[in-house]
Structure 1
Amino acid sequence: MFKLVAIGLVGVVALGAVPASAQVFQGPYIGAQAGWNRDSVDAPRTDAGIATINDEKDSFIGGAFVGYNQTVTPNIVLGLEGSFNVGASDDIRRNGVSINPDYSFDLSARAGYLIGGKTLIYARGGYENMRAKVRIPSASGVVSNRETFDGWTVGGGVERALLDKVSARLEYRYSDLGSNGQKFDRHQVLAGVGYHF
Structure 2
Amino acid sequence: MKPYLLPISFALVASLAAANPAAAQTFEGPYVGAQAGWNQNKLGTVESDIGTAQVDRSRDAATAGIFAGYNIQPANGIVVSAEGAVNFGFDDGVTRSQKDAMGSINPEYGFDLGVRAGYLVTPNTLVYARGGYENIRASVRVLDLEGPRSGKDNFDGWTIGGGVERAVTDRISGRIEYRYSDLGGSGTKFERHQVLAGVAYHF
Task: Please classify the TM superposition score into its range, dividing by the shorter chain length.
Answer: 0.7 to 0.9
Partner of 2:91: 89
How far apart in 2 are the matches of 1:108 and 1:20?
26
Partner of 2:33: 31
Partner of 1:106: 112
Which amino acid in structure 2 is aligned with residue 56 of structure 1?
A: S
Match of 1:63 among 57, 62, 65: 65
Question: Per-residue deviation at 1:87?
Answer: 0.4
Alignment of 1:8-157 (within 5 A): 21-95=23-97, 96-139=102-145, 141-157=147-163
Partner of 2:169: 163
Question: Per-residue deviation at 1:137?
Answer: 1.6
Instruction: Pick which of 30-39 and 92-101 moved more.
Output: 92-101
% identical aligned pairs: 55
Question: Per-residue deviation at 1:140?
Answer: 5.9
How far apart in 2 are the matches of 1:123 and 1:173?
10
Partner of 1:174: 180
How far apart in 2 are the matches of 1:44 and 1:141?
17
Which amino acid in structure 1 is aligned with residue 70 of structure 2?
A: Y
What is the CA deviation profile of residues 104-157 of structure 1, one whole-angstrom value per residue up to 9, with x for unaligned ones?
100001100012210000000110000100001245642011011100000000
Higher Rg of the two aligned structures: 1
Which amino acid in structure 1 is aligned with residue 92 of structure 2?
A: D
Aligned to 1:43, the other structure's residue is in SS state strand
Aligned to 1:24, the other structure's residue is in SS state helix
Q: For this pair of structures, how many residues does the alignment match?
A: 179
Aligned to 2:112, the other structure's residue is in SS state strand
Aligned to 1:90, the other structure's residue is in SS state coil
What is the CA deviation profile of residues 35-57 of structure 1, one whole-angstrom value per residue up to 9, with x for unaligned ones?
00001010111111110110100
Aligned to 2:169, the other structure's residue is in SS state coil
Which consecutive unaligned segments of at least 5 residues does structure 2 have? Answer: 1-20
Provide the TM-score with structure 2 as the length reference.
Answer: 0.85
How far apart in 2 are the matches of 1:152 and 1:140?
32
How far apart in 2 are the matches of 1:20 and 1:92?
43
Q: CA RMSD in A?
A: 1.3
Which amino acid in structure 2 is aligned with residue 43 of structure 1?
A: T
How far apart in 1 are the matches of 2:25 and 2:84?
21
